[in-house]
Amino acid sequence: MILRGYDGILSLAMKLRWIIVSIVFVLLALTGVVATYLGAEFIPRLSEGAVVINTIRLAGVSIEESVAYNTRIEQLLLDEYPDEVRSVWSRIGSAEVATDPMGTELTDIFVTLTPRDQWTKASNQGELVTAMQKTVADLPGLNMVFTQPIEMRLNEMESGIRSDIGIKIYGDDFNELIRISDEVQRVLVPIEGQSDIAVDQITGQPTLQVKVNEQAMAQLGLPAVHILDVIESVGGRKVGEIFEGQKKFPLVVRLPDSHRSDSTVLANTIIPSVSGEQVPLRSLADVSSVEGASTINREWGRRLIRVQCNVSGRDVSSFVEEAKRKIDESIILQEGYVIDWGGQFENLERARLRLMIMIPVTLLLIFFLLYFSLKNFRDVLLIYTGIPFALIGGIFALWFRGIPFSVSAAVGFIALSGIAVLNGQILVSAIRAFIDEGKALSEAATLAAHQRLRPVLATAITDAAGFVPMAISMGIGAEVQRPLATVVIGGVMTSTLLTLLVLPVLFVMLSKLKRA
């Protein structure tokens, strides 16, 4: 039944071969259009079964205040998501082994999740994170960035960016860097897909500033070093060493805590003069609390501030393209100030460059292997038509499922090329064999297609069926497997159908053109 139906369709295709070829070209053109709407990302976000909330508060906040606020967030998450959250804990500032230096205004809140089949308020981790963002959105006085433990560390090690996208602004003046970063945030807010926008906290640290009055010191005959020693003792001044057996300890002089935490008390500190007169420090210096730099970030020897942003509900590539265009239109940079892009987008650009080299090299190697096997340039070109046939199904499958192009999808296209070429080689070899037996051109193409129908269909069904569990899986790690499986299944379907239908038609058409 299948063979009879296939023979009828193939006979009709032979009669309408120019129409069939035109339809194929239209499909290829539509595929190119659809590909522009796919978007791109480096790799799909792999659910780790845990979430990290990086909170950023005002610089100089006390540890007590940070602990109280963290406890409030932890309890809120536990109360709102009892079926999803297994445990929550926080880390304030730097760890004991300070491989990740952070101030007390920075906190990492780690949330471990229960198995997904126990969840009642979300079906996947993306939905759960979105719900958590809404839950904590009304908490005042802090910015939050949601990520995952392993993902966060890898991003930090690679580019120093914890989020999907990092906009690095280089320059010399802190105030100008802050102005540009505020403008960048203003541009990002209305863009669809933005979430967790945060900026480095580089100012706002309460700083004690002491400016010595040299004229007043000269009138009293006090040397500058006499005043500077007192000022140094605010933080601690080493005056000697203490030995206890083989142990050695530094001897440090430090003012009482009241002098170190209150600028008014420090200003009233008594300084003895050479004549014996006791003078308060405020008569010899201006003592005040000012806002200083909390963090000074540098890269390649230049100061920078980073605006970080996650992308939700759309692909990273299209988001960055839109953000770049709007930032270029809205922000005018002074001389010496530069905007650079990092994070996952930076990895995507590097991967795209490598794929632009590796994919053509792979296809060329396949081409040469086929040529050395068949010794016929035209036959190799005919076999290679299976690759664009496969691209049609792979790209349409990604578009239908709403999956952007990624490294996983690229690997699927490379594997798909081998499968498509194999089917074409089987069919072309069979046609050549019938021609060598003395069959007419159209008869040889029809007999070969009839003979190779079962092997080609068996190969296609086996390949597609083997990838179906990966394509529909929702378990841990399925995010990376899903694009690859989707590409292979969609590509195998169109490659098989078009190879069985269009390849014999193309073989006959090219052979007749050569004879003419």
457 belongs to a structural domain: yes
Residue 385 shares a structural domain with residue 478? yes
CA 174, CA 279: separation in Å to the nearest integer?
Answer: 37
Query: How far, in Å, CA of 321 to CA of 328, rounded?
Result: 11
β pairing state of 50-56 and 143-147 = antiparallel
Confidence class for position 95, pLDDT limits 50, 70, 90: low
The pLDDT of residue 361 is 86
Residues 507 and 412 in one domain: yes
> Does one domain contain both 217 and 252?
yes
pLDDT in tens, 20-62: 778 888 888 888 888 888 877 877 777 778 888 888 777 667 7
Per-residue pLDDT, averaged over 153-181, amounts to: 79
User: Are 141 and 72 in contact, with CB atoms under 8 Å apart?
Assistant: no
Q: What is residue 316's predicted lDDT score, i.e. its pLDDT?
A: 82
Q: Residue 438 domain-assigned?
A: yes
Which contacts qualify for 216-221: CB closer than 8 Å, 24 or more apart?
216/283, 216/284, 217/284, 220/273, 220/274, 220/275, 220/277, 220/279, 220/284, 221/273, 221/274, 221/275
Domain boundary among the residues 132, 147, 162 is at: 147
Residues 393 and 491 in one domain: yes
Residue 360 inside a domain? The answer is: no
Distance CA(177)–CA(179), nearest Å, equals 5
State the CATH number of the domain containing residue 24.
1.20.1640.10
C-alpha to C-alpha distance for 385 and 362, rounded to whole angstroms: 16
Q: How confident is the model at residue 96 (pLDDT cuts 50, 70, 90)?
A: low
- What Cα–Cα distance (Å) separates residue 135 from each residue in 66, 86, 128, 163? 19, 17, 11, 20
**Both 496 and 401 in a single domain?**
yes
pLDDT of amino acid 350: 81
How large is the average pLDDT for residues 486-504? 86
Please give the helix or strand (H or E) that residue 236 lies within, else none. none
Number of domains in the chain: 3
What per-residue confidence (pLDDT) applies to 262? 77
Residue 171: CB atoms within 10 A of its CB come to 21
**How far is the C-alpha of 68 from the C-alpha of 150, rounded, in Å?**
27
Within-domain flag for 384: yes
Is 505 found in the same domain as 386?
Answer: yes
State residue 510's pLDDT score: 76
Please say if the pLDDT value at position 111 is more than 80.
yes
The Cα 44–Cα 68 span in angstroms is 36
Is the pLDDT reported for residue 393 higher than 80?
Answer: yes
Residue 383, domain member (yes or no): yes
Per-residue HEC secondary structure of 146-160 comes to: EECHHHHHHHHHHHC
In a domain, 324, yes or no: no
Whether residues 28 and 58 share a domain: the answer is no
Whether residue 393 sits in one domain with residue 285? no
Chain mean pLDDT for the chain: 81
pTM of the model: 0.74
Q: Is position 95 within any domain?
A: yes
72 pLDDT tier (thresholds 50, 70, 90): confident
Over residues 304-323, the mean pLDDT reads 83
Same domain for 441 and 499, yes or no, is yes
Query: Confidence class of residue 100 from pLDDT cuts 50, 70 and 90?
Result: low
The yes-or-no verdict on residue 462 having pLDDT over 80 is: yes
Does some domain include residue 392? yes
CATH code at position 75: 3.30.70.1430
Residue 134 has pLDDT above 70, yes or no: yes
**In the numeric block, which tokens belong to residue 405?**
């192009």
State mean pLDDT over 148-177. 78
Residue 72 sits in the same domain as residue 11: no
d(CA 513, CA 516): 5
Amino acid at 444: A
Judgement on whether residues 143 and 85 belong to the same structural domain of the protein? yes
Under 8 Å between Cβ of 297 and 202: yes
Whether 467 contacts 489, CB under 8 Å: yes
Q: What's the pLDDT band for 346 if we cut at 50, 70, 90? A: confident
The pLDDT value recorded for residue 416 is: 85
Final residue before a domain boundary, out of 121, 147, 173: 147
Number of other residues whose CB lies within 10 A of the CB of residue 182: 12
Task: Identify any residues that bridge with 274 across adjacent strands, giving them in sequence order.
Answer: none
| 61 and 31 within one domain | no
Structural domain range at position 460: 2-36+376-515
CATH of residue 274: 3.30.2090.10
- Contact between 208 and 286 (Cβ < 8 Å): no
| Residues in the chain, overall count | 516
How many CB atoms lie under 10 A from the CB of residue 96?
Answer: 4
The last residue of a domain, from among 147, 175, 193: 147
Query: What pLDDT was estimated at residue 414?
Result: 85
More confident residue, 37 or 513: 37
